[in-house]
Structure 1
C-alpha cells in the first residue's frame, strides 16, 4: 500500500471516529454510552423485580434473575428528521384488551438505518402536557420470534426544531409482555417495519 493510501485511510478512520464520538450522546464516548445504556437496563430490571407497581406477579418476581437484551449497538442510535402531519387529529389506538386510548397523530420520524430510509409515526398522549414528548410503538421483523409479538415501545423527546433522536437500544417491552392482565397499545400500521431491529429488549420468558 502506498504512503498516500495509508494517509487517506488514516484520515478516514479519524473522521469516522470523530463522527461516532460526536454522534453518540452528543460528544459522549462509546464506552460511556454503553455504560449509560447498561445502567438504564439495570434500573429497568430492578423496577420489574422489586417495585410494587411492577406488572410481574410475586411468583414472577422471585423467578426473575435478569432481562434479555440485544448487545448495545451505537448503530441503532439514530437522528431522525421530523416531518409534521399537516392536519393533526386525535385517533383511537386499539389496546390488547379491545379497548382504546386517544393519541394525537402528530408527525413522522424519518431516518436511515442500514442504508434504508424508514418512517415511523410519532404519537402524543392526549393528556401530554409537554409537547416535545412523544410515544413510539413499533413492531419489526423480529416481533413474535426474538422479541415480543405485540411490538415494543420507546419514549422520545424532541431535541431539535425539526429533529428527534431515536435510540432503539432503549426499546422496551410493554407490560402485557409480562402479564396478559395489562392492556397495551398496539403499534399502528405505519410502524410495522419489514426490517429487523435487533436492539433493545428481547422477548420475556418465564
Structure 2
C-alpha cells in the first residue's frame, strides 16, 4: 500500500490552499470565486500530469476533468476553535485496515445553514507547523454524489481561537481514485447528517 504518500499530498495542498485563505476584507465575491477556480485548475493538473498522482498511466489517458459542486461562498465558514480536553494521540483507521497516528487537537464549532456543528481537528504526528490541521469528514452526500470514504480539507489557524473552514476546497483522498492507496477515515465526530453541497464530487472512471 502507498499510505506513506498520503502525507506528501497533504503538504502540497496545505501550501497551495493557504494562499486561498489569505483573503482580505476588500475581496469581492468575484475575486473569491476566481481564486477557488484557480485552485481547482491546479488540483486537476496535479492529478492529471504529476508523477505523484494517484492515477495510473491508463487512468490518466482518459482523464479529462474533476467534478465539483458550484462554488458557494456560504460554505466558507469562520469557526471557533475549542481545545479538546483529553488532547492525546489516537490511531486513525485507514481504508486498508492499518492505522496512522494523529493528535486530537481541537473542535471547530460553527453554524451552517442556521444549525450548529462541531468537527474534530486532527494534527499529523509529522506536522511541523502547529497552525496546520487536517479535517476528514463525511456527510449526507457521501456514497451518493461524493466519495463514500469521506473528503478532506487542509486547514490553517488564522486567529487566536479561530479557523476558516472552506468546504469549497474539500477534495477526495487518493483512494477515491486508486484503491492501492490507504487513506484515513473520518472520525465518528466528523460524520455530518447534513449534505455538504460544496467541494469535489466523486471520481467517475471513464
Report the TM-score range of the alignment, normalised by the length of the smaller protein: 0.7 to 0.9
Unmatched tracts of structure 2, length 5 or more: 1-21
Query: Deviation string for 1:36-88 (max 9, x for gaps)?
Result: 00000000000001000000011111111110000000000000000101221
**Distance (Å, rounded) in 1 between the aligned partners of 2:128 and 2:52:** 23
Displacement of 1:131 in angstroms is: 0.6
**Equivalent residue number for residue 23 of structure 2:** 25
Check if 1:129 corresponds to 2:128: yes
Q: Mapping of 1:1-206 within 5 angstroms?
A: 25-27=23-25, 28-206=27-205
Superposed CA RMSD = 1.2
For these two proteins, the number of residue pairs brought into alignment is 184
- TM-score in terms of structure 1 length: 0.88
Query: Deviation string for 1:81-104 (max 9, x for gaps)?
Result: 001012210000000000000000
- TM-score in terms of structure 2 length: 0.88
**Distance (Å, rounded) in 2 between the aligned partners of 1:98 and 1:85:** 26
Which structure is higher in RCO with an 8 Å CA cutoff and minimum separation 6? 2
**Distance (Å, rounded) in 2 between the aligned partners of 1:88 and 1:64:** 42
Greater mean deviation of Cα atoms: 82-91 or 168-177: 82-91
Displacement of 1:132 in angstroms is: 0.5
**Distance (Å, rounded) in 2 between the aligned partners of 1:69 and 1:186:** 21
